[in-house]
């Protein structure tokens, strides 16, 4: 049996999104900037996609800028907020210790340019405390950037409360919502979000396309100079098939979302109940305030990569830490931010499910995972010492 | 970004040779630490004439750590203590048809585990001779 349980890393393209993309390659092939009929047709499908994406986020079409993905959107939002801050003499940025590297490394780059960065603690449950955020905001704070859902432990941050605090204090608020869009209902207006990053491939859309929402009136600077695309802010002929595929994937993902989440939650609960029967196993992050499909375990005495490889031999695709961390020897910065000791953080496993997973697949994980853990523990000097 | 392991490495972590402990080992060495994510413990059973009759290991670590432990035990079994002392991490890497650069430290750890077990064996023998 093959089980893909790494939906937080990426998802397979949905058939509706794929069909929509194919129509862009076969029918709507023009350049949206061209004046002729083919160009006008491409522009029409592009702008329809923009309207759909905007509507699903409760934004206006003019507030959506298409990008190459979540990392680009994060980089753009943060560097531009910093630039806007500089003009007003504001050189302080606030974020959290467990952001995606697209955010953390952008902040590192800004630090070298003289910005001061405060990273809020996320506590053992993986949740930002709004009161700690409020206390961290200063007169010279240019931006607050807090991810909507953490990519490793799936915890859902109190975005509305953070939005309200930032609006009250007059500080720009950006959220990296790459793990949230398509999985949770999002309303940028009600949640008082100023900027939001999203990526299509996290909800069965194509890879290499995403968007940045920027609230009307925020004068962000240009990312790519050139033609007048994306209202002059991001030049380059638009990725029409990708954008259209993203809009269709988002629409499909949000259809019957709460029923889908109920079904995913049932699978998650079943797996969690079974896996937590394994001795010396813990679930990382808050148990309930997390994305329906996310499970993140630590198993004492074993290391995450060998766990992944053994699961892979059984046909199960999962992840340890974030996929971006593979190739590095450092334990996950997310788990360290949750206060886990390094030796425990090395043994983490993320299982991420969504509506395309089945109960049979959940059962298969429940069957195989304890066997693999047992096998690795039997050869672990740390585990065998514990048994002494 | 994903790392690719050679067929040999995949074979050795999927089917590691010589996993376990030796009750009456006369050379035991442990190297690495859990904070870094790798610990190897090597058990050797060495005959009176200095031949490694058996070698077993316990390893906490990644796929490469398991594979290098497995290969290192294979390479020293049946060898003399002097020959085993010559084992280098490079030889282990070559026997595995290479390792990704970020995983080369695992082979160093395997070499060190063998050396630590041999060192323990030498110390035990000296003690024995002193007591004799």
Instruction: Mark yes or no for CB contact B1/A324 under 8 Å.
Output: yes
Q: What value does the mean pLDDT of chain A take?
A: 95
* Burial (CB count within 10 angstroms: exposed 0-12, middle 13-18, buried 19+), residue B82: exposed
More confident residue, A115 or A329: A115
> pLDDT value at position A323?
45
Q: List chain B residues with CB under 8 Å of A306.
A: 13, 61-63, 65-66
Range with the poorest average pLDDT among A44-48, A294-298, A341-345, B103-107: A341-345
ipTM of the complex: 0.92
pLDDT computed for residue A322 by the predictor? 46
Touching check for B11 and chain A: CB below 8 Å? no
Cβ of A379 within 8 Å of Cβ of B66? The answer is yes
Percent of chain B residues topping a pLDDT of 90: 83
Distance between CA A281 and CA B62 in Å, rounded?
Answer: 19
Q: B64 pLDDT exceeds 70?
A: yes
Rounded distance between C-alpha atoms, residue A108 and residue A304, angstroms? 27
Q: Which chain B residues are within 8 Å of A325, Cβ to Cβ?
A: none
Closest-CA residue of chain A to B9: A309
> Which CATH number among 1.10.1370.20, 3.20.20.70, 3.90.1010.10, 1.10.275.10 corresponds to the domain B7-123?
3.90.1010.10
A95 is written with which tokens? 């974020």
pLDDT(A310) > 90: yes
pLDDT, position B27: 97
Instruction: Give the pLDDT confidence of A339-348 residue by residue, as tens digits.
Output: 998 888 888 9
Q: What is the pLDDT of residues A44-89, one digit of tens each?
A: 999 999 999 999 999 999 999 999 999 999 999 999 999 999 999 9
Angle between helices A359-378 and A304-313 (to 10 degrees): 130
Q: With bands split at pLDDT 50, 70 and 90, how would you rate the model's confidence at A249?
A: very high
Q: Is the pLDDT of residue B2 over 70?
A: no
Q: What pLDDT does A63 receive?
A: 98
pLDDT, tens digit, for every residue of A188-229? 999 999 999 999 999 999 999 999 999 999 999 999 999 999
> Does A305 sit within 8 Å of B21, measured CB to CB?
no
Contact residues for A31 (Cβ-Cβ < 8 A; gap 6+) = A38, A39, A42, A237
Q: How far apart are CA B27 and CA B43, in angstroms?
A: 6
Average pLDDT for B76-89: 97
Give the residue from A24, A264, A21 showing the smallest Cα distance to A154: A264
What span, in angstroms and rounded, lies between the C-alpha atoms of B116 and B97?
25
What is the pLDDT of chain B when averaged over all its residues?
A: 94
A377 touching B (Cβ < 8 Å): no
Q: Do B63 and A309 touch (CB under 8 A)?
A: yes
pLDDT digits (tens, 9 = 90+) for B31-61: 998 877 889 999 999 999 999 999 999 999 9
- Give A385's pLDDT tier (boundaries 50, 70, 90): confident
Do the chains contact at A305 and B63, CB–CB below 8 Å?
yes
Closest residue in chain B to residue A314, using alpha carbons only: B14
B-chain residues near A323 (CB < 8 A)? 1
Closest CA in chain B for residue A325: B1
Q: What mean pLDDT do residues B111-116 have?
A: 97
What count of Cα atoms within 13 Å lies in the side-chain half-sphere of residue A339?
8
Residues of A in contact with B65 (CB under 8 A): 303, 306
d(CA A130, CA A134): 6
Q: Where are the domains of chain B?
A: 7-123
**What average pLDDT does the segment B74-93 reach?**
97
Select from B16, B34, B57 the Cβ nearest to the Cβ of A343.
B34
For residues A160 and A322, the answer to whether their CB atoms sit within 8 Å is no
Q: Does B104 touch chain A (CB under 8 A)?
A: no
Model confidence at A331, pLDDT cuts 50, 70, 90, reads confident
For residue range A166-194, what is the model confidence (pLDDT) as tens digits? 999 999 999 999 999 999 999 999 999 99
CB atoms < 10 A from the CB of B130, how many? 7
Q: So what's the pLDDT on residue A327?
A: 57
Q: What is the pLDDT of residue A329?
A: 64
* Four-CA torsion A252, A255, A259, A261, nearest 10 degrees: 50
Share of chain A above pLDDT 90, in %: 93
Does A35 score more than 90 pLDDT? yes
Cβ distance A382 to B102 less than 8 Å, yes or no, reads no
Residues contacting residue B15 through CB under 8 Å, at least 6 positions apart: none
User: Measured between CB atoms, does A326 come within 8 Å of chain B?
Assistant: yes
Query: In chain A, which among 207-236 make CB contacts under 8 A with chain B?
Result: none
For A49, the enclosing helix (H) or strand (E) is helix A37-57
Candidates B1, B21, B37; nearest CB to A329:
B37
Whether residues A379 and B37 touch (CB distance < 8 A) is answered with no
Contact status, residue A303 vs residue A372, Cβ threshold 8 Å: no
Question: What b/e string do you get for A16-34 counting C-beta neighbours within 10 Å, with b at 16 or more?
Answer: bbbebbebbeeebebbbee
Model confidence at A333, pLDDT cuts 50, 70, 90, reads: very high
Q: Render A268-313 in DSSP notation, one character per residue.
A: HHHHHHHHTTSSSEEE-S-SSSB-TTEEEEEETT--HHHHHHHHHH
Residues from chain A contacting residue B62 (CB–CB below 8 Å): 303-306, 309
Average pLDDT over residues A23-37: 96
CB contact under 8 A, B3 and A303: no
């Amino acid at each position: 049996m093959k089980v893909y349980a790494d939906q937080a890393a990426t998802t397979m393209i949905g058939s509706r999104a794929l069909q929509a993309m194919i129509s862009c390659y076969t029918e709507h092939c023009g350049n949206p900037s061209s004046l002729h009929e083919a160009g006008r047709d491409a522009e029409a499908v592009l702008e329809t996609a923009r309207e759909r994406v905007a509507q699903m986020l409760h934004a206006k079409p003019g507030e959506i800028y298409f990008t190459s993905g979540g990392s680009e959107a994060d980089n753009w939002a943060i560097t531009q907020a910093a630039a806007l801050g500089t003009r007003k003499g504001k050189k302080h940025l606030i974020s959290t210790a467990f952001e995606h590297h697209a955010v953390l490394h952008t902040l590192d780059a800004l630090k070298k340019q003289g910005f001061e960065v405060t990273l809020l603690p996320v506590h053992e449950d993986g949740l930002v405390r709004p009161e700690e955020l409020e206390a961290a905001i200063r007169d010279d704070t240019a931006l607050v950037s807090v991810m909507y859902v953490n990519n490793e432990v799936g915890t859902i941050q109190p975005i509305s409360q953070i939005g309200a605090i930032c609006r009250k204090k007059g500080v720009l608020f950006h959220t990296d919502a790459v793990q949230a869009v398509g999985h949770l209902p999002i309303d940028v207006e009600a949640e008082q979000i100023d900027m939001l990053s999203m990526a299509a491939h996290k909800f069965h859309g194509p890879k290499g396309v995403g968007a940045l929402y920027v609230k009307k009136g925020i004068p962000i600077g240009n990312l790519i100079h050139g033609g007048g695309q994306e209202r002059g802010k991001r030049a380059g002929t638009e990725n029409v098939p990708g954008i259209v595929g993203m809009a269709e994937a988002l629409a499909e993902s949000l259809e019957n979302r709460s029923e889908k989440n109920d079904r995913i939650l049932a699978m998650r609960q079943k797996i969690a109940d079974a896996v937590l029967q394994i001795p010396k196993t813990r679930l990382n992050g808050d148990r309930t305030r997390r994305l329906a499909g996310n499970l993140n375990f630590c198993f004492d005495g074993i290391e995450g990569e060998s766990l992944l490889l053994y699961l892979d031999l059984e046909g199960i695709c999962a992840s340890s830490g974030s996929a971006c961390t593979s190739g590095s020897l450092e334990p996950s910065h997310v788990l360290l931010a949750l206060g886990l000791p390094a030796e425990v953080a090395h043994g983490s496993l993320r299982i991420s499910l969504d509506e395309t997973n089945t109960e049979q697949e959940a059962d298969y994980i429940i069957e195989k995972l304890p066997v693999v853990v047992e096998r690795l523990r039997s050869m672990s000097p740390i585990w065998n010492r514990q048994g002494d | 970004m994903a790392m690719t392991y050679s067929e040999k490495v995949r074979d050795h972590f999927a089917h590691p040779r010589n996993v376990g402990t030796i009750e009456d080992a006369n050379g035991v060495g442990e190297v690495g630490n859990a904070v870094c994510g790798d610990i190897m413990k090597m058990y050797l059973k060495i005959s009176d004439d200095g031949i490694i009759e058996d070698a077993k290991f316990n390893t906490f670590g990644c796929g490469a750590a398991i594979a290098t432990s497995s290969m290192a035990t294979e390479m020293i079994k049946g060898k003399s203590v002097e020959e085993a002392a010559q084992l280098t991490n490079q030889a282990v890497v070559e026997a595995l048809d290479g390792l990704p650069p970020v995983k080369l430290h695992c082979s160093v750890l395997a070499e060190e585990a063998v050396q630590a077990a041999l060192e323990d064996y030498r110390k035990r023998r000296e003690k024995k001779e002193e007591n004799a």
